[in-house]
Structure 1
Amino acid sequence: MGLDDDAREYHRQDPPGKIAIETTKSTNTQRDLSLAYSSGVAAPCRDIADDEEAAYEYTAKGNMVGVVSNGSAVLGLGDIGAQASKPVMEGKGVLFKRFADIDV
């Protein structure tokens, strides 16, 4: 097999994609879920509304980046479109996580 075939096989492996979201807090009980979302999430939201710096205390803001592309200039691939650029964007996310422990 060549590099292209190996890359296709690598990307086809389950689960799809190269990145995932995992919870950092307990979500085992109904109370946990209420704290994580409705209605418990309102208290930290109000704190952030009062002081935007509180976002660093309550959220992943301090260790998260977004990787976005419209697909018009992707590496050596050129204008391949947003959907086709997704494996490259996921790959960038892998590099952020692997080498800097930054979440995407």
Structure 2
Amino acid sequence: MSDEVKVSDAEALRFHAEGRPGKLAIAPTKPLDTARDLSLAYSPGVAAPCLEIFRDPNLVFDYTSRGNLVAIVSNGTAVLGLGNLGALGAKPVMEGK
């Protein structure tokens, strides 16, 4: 007996297209509403954490999203038994990983 859940193509397409397309989003973790916020997030405020990380590379986890990100890279040549779908055709699978 298979544990595989059955879904229709129409249901899957609707799931991926409804609302905001895709399965992932990147949202700010700090306020970015004012000029001061932007100065802290970028220049000149970004210099302080850059220099601290240069002095102690382990601080990258304290001052950046390094510990919360992962990259999935694929040329799309072998996608879930579907074959070579190319990089764009493989994107829904990569988002799900």
Q: Over aligned residue pairs, what C-alpha RMSD do you find?
A: 1.4
Report what 2:95 is aligned to: 90
Looking at structure 1, the residues matched to 36 and 65 of structure 2 have their Cα atoms a distance apart, in angstroms, of: 21
CA distance in 2, matches of 1:19, 1:34: 27
- After TM superposition, the runs of 4+ consecutive aligned structure 1 residues lying more than 6 A away are none
Are 1:46 and 2:39 an aligned pair? no
* Residue number among 10, 14, 21 corresponding to 2:26 in the alignment: 21
Amino acid at match of 1:4: D
SS for the counterpart of 2:81 is coil
Q: Following superposition of structure 1 onto structure 2, how do residues 47-86 of structure 1 map, counting pairs within 5 Å? A: 47-86=52-91
What is the CA-CA distance between 1:14 and the residue it aligns to? 2.4
- Tell me which structure has the larger Cα radius of gyration: 2
Looking at structure 1, the residues matched to 87 and 47 of structure 2 have their Cα atoms a distance apart, in angstroms, of 34
Percent of paired sites with the same residue: 56
Q: Which of 28, 33, 39 is residue 34 of structure 1 equivalent to?
A: 39
**Residues of 1 paired with 2:64 and 2:84: CA distance?**
35
Secondary structure of the 1:90 match is helix
**Gap runs ≥5 in structure 1:** 93-104
**Greater fraction helix:** 1
Q: Number of matched residues?
A: 91
Query: Normalising to structure 2: TM-score of the pair?
Result: 0.84
Looking at structure 1, the residues matched to 83 and 73 of structure 2 have their Cα atoms a distance apart, in angstroms, of 15
